[in-house]
Amino acid sequence: MEIAASRPNRTSASTDMGGTFDEAGVGGFGLEALGFRLRASDMAPRTVRRSMKPVDVVRVGPLHDARERRQDVAAAEEPLEIRLQGSTFVVTMRTPGADRELAVGLLVSERVIAGPEDIGTIRHCGGATDEGAENLLDVMLVGAAAVRAEAALGGRRLVTTTSACGVCGRRSIDELMQDVPPVTGRWAMAAAVVAALPGRLRGGQTLFDETGGLHAAGLFDRHGTPVAVAEDVGRHNAVDKVVGAQLLGERWPLPDLALFVSGRTSFEIVQKAVVAGIPIVGAVSAPSSLAIELARAAGVTLLGFVRDDTFNIYTGEERVAGR
């Protein structure tokens, strides 16, 4: 498997999780890289510039009669065109950074990629100075995955997915879940560990600290230790980034990890977890009714309203231990 960017002279630095990142985006790899818990001050300058954009704001004071003009930063949102075998597969809106991981996670959830062996090359398109090259990513698959790619391209309507939309452009939910085996991980997470997950996820949201405008997803072991945390304007994109990083690191599937997300849990978040074999999914807010139905059918433990040391168990109570 070759992971490459079109630009030469890439700069890199170490993350605080033992991986690497580069100017092409947060979470560049070194296939040993497992996560994205980066301090903004540690990032390569180009990565920071692409993840955040300067904006001018007028700040209204607490008495509503004082206004101050100042410069702030906003979370970046840009289109990423993902190509399969040179043909456009989807255009998705995302926060730049960890684009390769995002593409791989998306292709896993779309059932195009089944494992690390399916990936030939992942390259940003164009030359180093080509305008927009950083927003074009070409994925070349090998073996049976190349055949699946052709079928996926033929059966997919070209869409632009927004940062609020996860599973888009497929013909039906049944197609997405066809032949996906039920989740089998039988371990349990202590209730106290579950209750601590929001704080541990929040500790990895360095770009949120700067912008206040990003969702996060994290993978945690049974002790609540973070394995990977990613941020994006789209919650589903953040999930794709952490899942894709694990596959690129050749750690696959993920029956020994739990997924925790900021905000709510919708169907596509649970679907991505099921395809990755993740047995526990939790969130700060509520799940949708369809997310609950899918979790129950697939054997996933689904947790919601995890906050203030309490939470709800919607499905799979047996995976939540006492203290």
122 contacts: CB under 8 Å, gap ≥ 6: 2, 3, 4, 100, 103, 104, 137, 138, 139, 140
Considering 146, 165, 196, 321, which one is annotated as catalytic? Answer: 165
247 contacts: CB under 8 Å, gap ≥ 6: 104, 105, 108, 113, 115, 116
Instruction: Count CB atoms within 10 A of the CB of residue 313.
Output: 16
Residue 217, beta-bridge partner list: 230, 261
Count CA atoms closer than 13 A to 54's CA, side-chain side.
3
Instruction: Count CB atoms within 10 A of the CB of residue 302.
Output: 25
Residue 16, beta-bridge partner list: none
Helix (H/G/I), strand (E/B), else coil: 17: coil
Alpha carbons 53 and 215: distance in angstroms, whole number: 16
| Catalytic-residue membership of 165 | yes
Catalytic sites, residue numbers: 165
